[in-house]
């Protein structure tokens, strides 16, 4: 279950953020994240709510791990 997609924060107003990915825009709720995201950060969206914030660097950094190894270093 659980469709969740990462989207980029474009604008914030109170508990609502305008987010975008791949040319698609949506308005989502921020009730479930502790700190408000900054414009340019990414949020993981599920059912119209952000459930996690990622800075651009974090997002790209964790992805980089994938590209190179087996991730066996996680063991």
- Contact footprint for other proteins (CB under 8 A): 1-8, 20-29, 31-34, 42, 44-49, 51-52, 54, 56, 58-60, 62-63, 65-67, 70-72, 74-75
What residues form DSSP beta bridges with 40? none
- C-alpha span between 17 and 71 (Å, rounded): 34
Which two structure tokens, joined as six digits, stand for 67?
Answer: 């590209």
Smallest distance, Å, CB 10 to other proteins? 10
Smallest distance, Å, CB 54 to other proteins? 7
> Judged by CB, which is closer to other proteins: 12, or 52?
52
The single residue listed with the structure tokens 């825009």 is 25
What is the separation of C-alpha 54 from the centre of its chain, rounded to a whole number of angstroms? 5
């Amino acid at each position: 279950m659980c469709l969740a997609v990462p989207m980029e924060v474009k604008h914030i107003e109170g508990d609502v953020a305008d987010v975008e990915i791949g040319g698609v825009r949506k308005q989502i709720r921020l009730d479930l994240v502790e700190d408000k995201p900054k414009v340019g950060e990414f949020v993981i969206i599920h059912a119209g709510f952000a459930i996690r914030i990622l800075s651009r660097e974090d997002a790209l950094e964790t992805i980089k791990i994938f590209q190179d190894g087996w991730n066996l270093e996680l063991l």
